[in-house]
Structure 1
Amino acid sequence: PCPAWLPVRPFADSAGCCCKLPTIITRSQWGARAPRNRVPLSTPVPYVIIYHTAGSSCISQASCSQLVRSIQNYHMDSNGWADIGYNFLIGEDSRVYEGRGWSTVGHPCLRLERYITGIQVPSAAALNIAQDLIQCAVNMGSRSSSYILKGHHNVKATESPGEALYNVITQWPRFQA
């Protein structure tokens, strides 16, 4: 069993190891639209890609849910994607919002489409949560224990995740440019 000090939603992996699973707001809780399709990820995934949203922030579950719905609408209606592009998004309210989740391919990024999980990190306050989420993914077998961490602009010509956040993640374990 998991020790009592773990947060509200502890997770024990198949080996009985616990991880600090952040509070995850499910798709139904934030009011997601149904995806047009879902493509299963081939696990364990060897990459983790860090993205950011530019120009928007949220500080409560209500405002973050609205923001995630807006992002999903933009991705589906303007970009023509099957669903929101990201596997998870982290709000400034210290909650994780399920995008495509642990086992579904996010929007393709170059030819790595079956190997990437996107985690949107809108502020420095969410960095510890992002690291906890990555560790849980490893403990669950969803991500390889030897995963490679990259910033979005390492795999696509974009400014995401922004220079300040990029400089932070370059110091994280497993980062490779």
Structure 2
Amino acid sequence: MTAALSVSIVSRADWGAAKPVKRTTLKGPAQMVIIHHTAVAKCQSLQECKDQLVSIQSYHMKSRSFDDIGYNFLVGGDGTLFEGRGWGVVGAHARGHNENSLGIAFMGNYNDDELSPEAISSVKKLLQFGVSKNFLEEKYVLKGHKDLGQTECPGNNLYAALPQLRNTC
């Protein structure tokens, strides 16, 4: 008998998220995963990551006029996963591609920071879980943000690691 696939995610309530202005539901499972970095200092502790999340959400909502934090999920350098908008919700992370995608941001600046094996492993598990629960198409396409627009995101070090996240299911 196979154990049920599960993944541990710090909820919005647990990191202190503000209530979103509105939430728009995806029309079906996400067809694409878009990988980002937050381009700020890598957080080193759970509390530091939570504080950073509150700051990112505030910036997205107040300065960028987003309805909520832009990403569906975020991952700390130690591999801790955090709920952003969550599963099945349209994000605000890649203009023109939000209606059919899942946005995952690695917390840090991956032009400079090195990627941890724990962060890669956690995102792999998140993707496998998403497919197993039909939140994500089995044959999803995985892209770096810079594949879809003029940006350095997700940083050269993270972009080089994208093959490790492809075809994880």
Superposed displacement of residue 59, structure 1: 1.9
**8 Å contact kept, 1:61–1:93:** no
Give 1:141's aligned residue.
134
Identity across aligned pairs (percent)?
37
Counterpart contact for 2:37–2:105, Cα < 8 Å: yes
Q: Which moves more between the two structures, 40-49 or 110-119?
A: 110-119
**Superposed structure 1 runs of 4+ greater than 4 Å apart:** none
Note the residue ranges of structure 1 that are not aligned, 5 or more in a row. Answer: 4-17
1:124 has 2:115 as partner:
yes
TM-score in terms of structure 1 length: 0.84
TM-score by length of 2: 0.88
Residue pair 2:88, 2:135 contacting (<8 A) in 1 also:
yes
1:19 maps onto 2:5 in alignment: yes
Asked which structure has the greater RCO (Cα within 8 Å, sep 6+), the reply is: 2
Between 158-167 and 108-117, report the one with greater CA deviation.
Answer: 108-117
Q: How far apart are residue 41 of structure 1 and its match? A: 1.2
Which ranges of structure 2 fall in alignment gaps of 5 or more residues?
108-113
Question: Aligned partners of 1:84 and 1:55: how far apart in 2?
Answer: 15
Query: How many angstroms apart in 2 are the aligned matches of 1:50 and 1:44?
Result: 17
Matched, 1:42 2:27: yes
Aligned partners of 2:43 and 2:76 also within 8 Å: yes
Q: For 1:107-138, what per-residue CA distance to the aligned partner results, in whole angstroms no more than 9, with x for missing partners?
A: 05232221111111235221111111011101
